[in-house]
Amino acid sequence: MKLYGFGPAANAQRVQVFLAEKGIEMPFAEVNVRDRDQCSKPWASMNPFN
């Protein structure tokens, strides 16, 4: 499993805090939504509504 998020976004931060409290390590991938990275490939192919 891999956690995708954007640094300033609160939701990904909450998940990271929870994982840290439980001692769970999970790879994190930064997706910059300000630069619309979520609309580029391969992200666009996963979401047909983008």
3 state SS of 5: strand
User: So what's the pLDDT on residue 43?
Assistant: 65
pLDDT for the residue 27: 93
Q: What is the pLDDT of residue 1?
A: 85
**Cα R_g (the chain), whole angstroms:** 12
Contact by Cβ (8 Å): 26, 1: yes
* Segment-wise mean pLDDT, segments of 10 residues, the chain, 50 residues: 84 91 92 75 69
The answer to whether the pTM exceeds 0.95 is no
